[in-house]
């Protein structure tokens, strides 16, 4: 009788990680959910989920979580783009060095495959602004400490594959949004906008509102990641996004249709370091795994609004 594989999700109680836990559990595999759990578990209860409370910065806790599993998905980040831009050193010590430790333990324990949630816009950097949509074959040109760090982690995965034979898949995820996302440290346009609306405060948009990104509903992104990670893949790198650009003005217009009352918006000068647009090409994923089912912006925002009005534990 074939043994049911066990998947470890590091950063399991985060925004992206919790949705990945849900999707894996739905597939009938065993899931270890590793996190500090400073708030109540955000993923749904499921008999296949084993909660492992531990600290990402504790070597012993990491090793205990990794021992005995078959696959590891690394979705933890100790920083945001805003934090790393303010203090690039913390990205090196808290993200890069700790990620290398994870990969080292995985190699020593014979983990079959590692999945890493990277960043689309941040890794492609200035190139993402020049092209309609960047492909996985395009050069990475990060311009921020956050993007530089993500790329460095990707490179270490290739190092561990060459040295130890540890298989891996990198997912360059664009701008996910959805339930469970919280507004903090200026990360996440949609939760930031909703927080301002909730407090009846003015929303500040930098630039003229035509700045655009590829926004993807987080449950859709988690499904794309887990469905491909659980299969043999032809490539070690995939872009994950909707393949469609949405501007800040379009998000405001969509929210005005859904939220009662007036939404106050003001415009300010766009910082020179801002990328006006970033988009990724997802044809590699579509060609290999088929067209994913994607949630429309209207339906996605409706789900977010429903979630923020529900009582929940923190």
CATH number at residue 79: 3.40.50.720
Distances (CA, A) of 174 to 168, 204, 258, 307: 19, 22, 24, 22
CA-wise closest residue to 177 among 211, 217, 223: 217
The answer to whether residue 277 sits within a structural domain is no
Pick the most confident of 16-20, 85-89, 123-127, 272-276: 16-20
The answer to whether residue 97 sits within a structural domain is yes
The answer to whether residue 304 sits within a structural domain is no
Q: Structural domain of residue 93, as residue ranges?
A: 6-178+215-242
Percent of the chain surpassing pLDDT 70: 96
What pLDDT is stored for residue 314 in this prediction? 40
What are 226-257's pLDDT values in tens digits? 999 999 999 999 999 999 999 999 999 999 99
The answer to whether residue 70 sits within a structural domain is yes
Strand 71-74 and strand 175-177: pairing? unpaired
The answer to whether residue 279 sits within a structural domain is no
Contact of 266 with 204, CB cutoff 8 Å: yes
Give the pTM.
0.93
The answer to whether residue 151 sits within a structural domain is yes
What pLDDT is stored for residue 312 in this prediction? 47
Question: Which of the two residues, 126 and 16, has the higher pLDDT score?
Answer: 16
256's tokens: 């005005």
The answer to whether residue 119 sits within a structural domain is yes
The answer to whether residue 275 sits within a structural domain is no
Contact of 65 with 106, CB cutoff 8 Å: no
Total of domains in the chain: 1
What pLDDT is stored for residue 213 in this prediction? 92
Enumerate residues 6+ apart whose C-beta is below 8 A from 6: 29, 30, 31, 32, 68, 69, 70, 71
What are 148-188's pLDDT values in tens digits? 999 999 999 999 999 999 999 999 999 999 999 987 656 68
């Amino acid at each position: 009788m074939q043994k049911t594989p066990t998947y470890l999700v590091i950063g399991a109680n985060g925004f992206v990680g919790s949705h990945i836990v849900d999707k894996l559990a739905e597939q009938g595999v065993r899931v270890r959910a590793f996190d500090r759990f400073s708030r109540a578990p955000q993923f749904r209860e499921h008999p296949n989920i084993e909660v492992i409370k531990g600290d990402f910065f504790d070597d012993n806790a990491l090793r205990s979580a990794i021992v005995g599993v078959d696959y590891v998905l690394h979705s933890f980040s100790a920083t945001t783009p805003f934090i790393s831009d303010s203090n690039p050193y913390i990205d090196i010590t808290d993200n890069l060095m700790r990620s290398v430790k994870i990969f080292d333990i995985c190699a020593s324990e014979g983990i079959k495959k590692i999945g890493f949630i990277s960043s689309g816009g941040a890794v492609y950097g200035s190139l993402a602004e020049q092209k309609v949509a960047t492909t996985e074959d395009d050069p990475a040109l990060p311009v921020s400490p956050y993007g530089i760090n993500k790329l460095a982690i990707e490179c270490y995965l290739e190092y561990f594959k060459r040295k130890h034979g540890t298989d891996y898949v990198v997912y360059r995820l664009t701008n996910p949004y959805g339930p469970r996302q919280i507004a903090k440290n200026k990360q996440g346009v949609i939760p930031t906008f909703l927080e301002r609306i909730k407090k009846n405060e003015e929303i500040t948009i930098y630039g003229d509102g035509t700045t655009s990104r590829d926004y993807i509903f987080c449950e859709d992104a988690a499904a794309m990641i887990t469905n491909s990670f659980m299969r043999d893949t032809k490539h070690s790198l995939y872009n994950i996004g909707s393949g469609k650009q949405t501007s800040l003005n379009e998000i405001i217009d969509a929210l005005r249709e859904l939220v009662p009352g007036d939404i106050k918006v003001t415009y300010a000068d766009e910082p020179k370091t801002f990328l006006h647009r970033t988009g990724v090409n997802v044809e590699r994923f579509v060609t290999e795994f088929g067209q994913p089912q994607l949630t429309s912006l209207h339906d996605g925002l409706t789900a977010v609004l429903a979630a923020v009005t529900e009582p929940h534990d923190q």
